[in-house]
Amino acid sequence: MQPSERLDLTFAALADPTRRAILARLARGEATVTELAQPFEMSQPAISKHLKVLERAGLISVDVDAQRRPRKLEPRRLAEAVDWIERYRALFEQNYQRLDALLEELQAKPSRRKRTKK
């Protein structure tokens, strides 16, 4: 899978409040489907459907060896998505820090402005 396709799956999986709540729960430790279904007013099959989406996106995994088949968080994929947004943020932030400096300069001496080079 291409990195961009992986991101598509990750962002699509994250674009649902129930799935985000499931991830938040799994951030505190592994849990079974029954345990995950409890806080939501949802049937087990409905929760299982959400879990499949998360699993396909690589955001969670199943421990197939354990009898309870608990789900656990796979933090790496989530980190990739955060990293992608962070790169956008960093790009803008660098610009805006230069703008901060310019605005400060313009306010300090509105008439005799010093031109700064990047």
**Least Å distance between CB 14 and another protein?**
9
- Rama region for 114: left / alpha / beta (φ>0; ψ in -120 to 50; rest): beta
Exposed, middle or buried: residue 6 (CB in 10 Å: 0-12, 13-18, 19+)? Answer: middle
Contact between 98 and another protein by CB under 8 A: the answer reads yes
Alpha-carbon gap, residue 11 to 84, rounded angstroms: 11
Contact window for another protein (CB under 8 A) among 43-51, 56-64, 66-74, 82-90: 82-90
Alpha-carbon gap, residue 96 to 98, rounded angstroms: 5
Contact window for another protein (CB under 8 A) among 17-25, 40-48, 70-78, 90-98: 90-98
Contact between 107 and another protein by CB under 8 A: the answer reads yes
Alpha-carbon gap, residue 118 to 97, rounded angstroms: 11
The interface mask with another protein, positions 10-49, x = CB under 8 A, is -x--------------------------------------
- Site residues (CB under 8 A) for another protein? 3-4, 7-8, 11, 84-85, 87-89, 91-96, 98-104, 106-107, 115-116, 118
